[in-house]
Amino acid sequence: MKKIKKEKSVGIVKTEYYTFAYPPNELILESGEKLGPITLAYETYGRLNKDKSNAILILHALSGDAHAAGYHSLNDRKPGWWDIMIGPQKAFDTNKYFIICSNVIGGCKGSTGPNSINPKTGKPYGLSFPVITIKDMVNAQKHLIDYLGIKRLLSLAGGSMGGMQVLQWTVSYPDMCYSAIPIATAPYLSAQAIAFNEVGRQAILADPNWKNGNYYNTNKIPSKGLAIARMIGHITYLSEESMHKKFGRRLQDKDKYSYKFLTEFQVESYLHHQGDSFVKRFDANSYLYITKAMDYFDISAGYKSLVDAFKNVKAKFLVISFSSDWLFPPSQSKEIANALRKNLKDVSYVEIKSSYGHDAFLLESKQLTILIKKFLNRISKEVMGKNA
C-alpha cells in the first residue's frame, strides 16, 4: 500500500453490481426491444455528501469499464483506466467529490452484454442480445443513479464514446445534470469513423471462430478478427505525428531489412502487441455491439437541428478537444459548443494543443487537470456554496 498511497491513489477498490429491470419491467430499448434483468457493474470513489450534491458520473469509452481508478488488489500492476484523473487532489478530487463509473450495457466487464447468460435460455445471449444505443446505455445508468439516491449529478465527464454519453445525459435528463464535460467527442459519428468501425466488425465476422457469435461454449474465440479490429482502431487513436515520433521507420530488434514477411518495423510490433493484449481482455461480440451503438449516435436525430437538440439542456458545459485528434476532430467539438452557444447556454470550449491524437484524453492529464479543476471549483461553489 505504501507505493499506492504515494501516488495519491484511491487505493484498493471493489467493483459493485446493481441489478434492475426484472421482467415484466424490462428496459425498453430504442429499437423497441426489451432488455431485463440488467446488471450494471460500477465503482465509486470518495464519499457522497449529506445532501448528495457532490456526485460526478464518469463515462467510459469503447473498450473501457467500471474500473476507472485505484487497484483491485495489491498485486495489480495497473490502476483503473483514468487513475491519473481520479483520486485525492486530482482533477476529479475524491476528497471533495463522490465519483461513480459504470460499465455500459453491451459491455463485457460485468454489465449485461452479449456474453451474459440470457435467463430465458440459460445460455449466453450472443447475437440474440438486442442492438443497443448510446441512449440505451444512458437510460440504464439513470437507474443506477436513482438507486444511489442522487437527484442531480454535480457533473458528468467522459472522452470519446464517454463524451457521447455525457451529451446524451444532458439531453435526456436535463434536470439531473448540473454540469457536463464532454471530451474528444462529437455530436454524431462521422462517415469516416463509421467506416473504420465497419471494417473492424467485418474482420470479426470473417473469423471462422466467430461462428455467428456463438463461440462462448467452444474452446476457440475469434481472436484474429478481434485483434485486427483493435489494430485498425489503434491507428485511429494515434496521430501521424505521434506515430512518427514514437516509431518512425525504426526496425524491430534488427538493423537491416529481413526481406521476409516478418515483423519488420517497430510500429508493426506495437500493433501486434495491442491486438494480442486486447483479445485477452475484451469480448468480440461486445466490440460489435458497442461500435454499432457509436455508429448510431447522432444527438440531433429526431430534432430539427443540433441547436434544437440542445434547446432544453440545463447543464453548464466545459467542451474539450485535442488539436491532433483526427477521429473526433476539434471541428466536431466546436459544433457542440456553437450549438450550445446559440441556445445561450453556459459553455466553455478549449482545444488543447497535443500531438497524441484521440488518445490524448487518456494522456494529457496535466492540461486536463488544470481545466477540469478550475471548472469543477466554480461549479461546486455554485452548488454547494462556500463549503465546497
Question: CA-CA-CA-CA torsion for 335, 183, 233, 291, nearest 10 degrees?
Answer: -80
Specify the DSSP element, H or E, that contains 272: helix 266-281
Q: Return the residues of window 15-34 that contact a copy of itself according to CB under 8 A.
A: 29-33
CB of 224 to a copy of itself, least distance (A): 4
Choice among 60, 207, 283, 358 that is catalytic: 358
Name which of 101 and 171 has its Cβ closer to a copy of itself: 171
Choice among 160, 239, 242, 321 that is catalytic: 160
Residue 243 is a binding residue for a copy of itself (CB under 8 A)? yes
| Closest among 16, 4, 286 to 148, alpha carbons compared | 16
Residue 255 is a binding residue for a copy of itself (CB under 8 A)? no
Are 106 and 289 within 8 A, CB to CB?
A: yes
Among 240, 254, 377, 381, binds a copy of itself (CB under 8 A): 240
Among 41, 134, 288, 388, binds a copy of itself (CB under 8 A): 288
Residue 303 is a binding residue for a copy of itself (CB under 8 A)? no
Q: Return the residues of window 167-196 that contact a copy of itself according to CB under 8 A.
A: 188-192, 194-196
CA distance 157 to 101: 10
List the grid coordinates of 152.
442531480
- Catalytic residue status for 358: yes
Residue 268 is a binding residue for a copy of itself (CB under 8 A)? yes
Q: Bin 32: left if φ > 0, else alpha if -120 < ψ < 50, else beta.
A: left
Within 10 A of 268 (CB to CB), how many other CB atoms are there? 15
Count, residues near a copy of itself per rule CB under 8 A: 56
Residue 344 is a binding residue for a copy of itself (CB under 8 A)? no
Among 295, 308, 335, 351, binds a copy of itself (CB under 8 A): 295
Are 57 and 46 within 8 A, CB to CB?
A: no
CA distance 31 to 140: 14
Name which of 77 and 260 has its Cβ closer to a copy of itself: 260
Are 192 and 358 within 8 A, CB to CB?
A: no
Residue 235 is a binding residue for a copy of itself (CB under 8 A)? yes
| Closest among 359, 296, 367 to 328, alpha carbons compared | 359
Residue tagged 426484472 (cell numbers): 22
CA distance 289 to 332: 24
Q: Which residues of the shown chain bind a copy of itself in the complex (CB under 8 A)?
A: 29-33, 127, 130-131, 188-192, 194-196, 198-199, 201-203, 206-208, 224-225, 227-228, 231-232, 235, 238, 240, 243-244, 246-249, 257, 259-261, 264-265, 267-268, 271, 275, 288, 292, 295-296, 298, 326, 329
Residue positions annotated with a catalytic role: 160, 325, 358
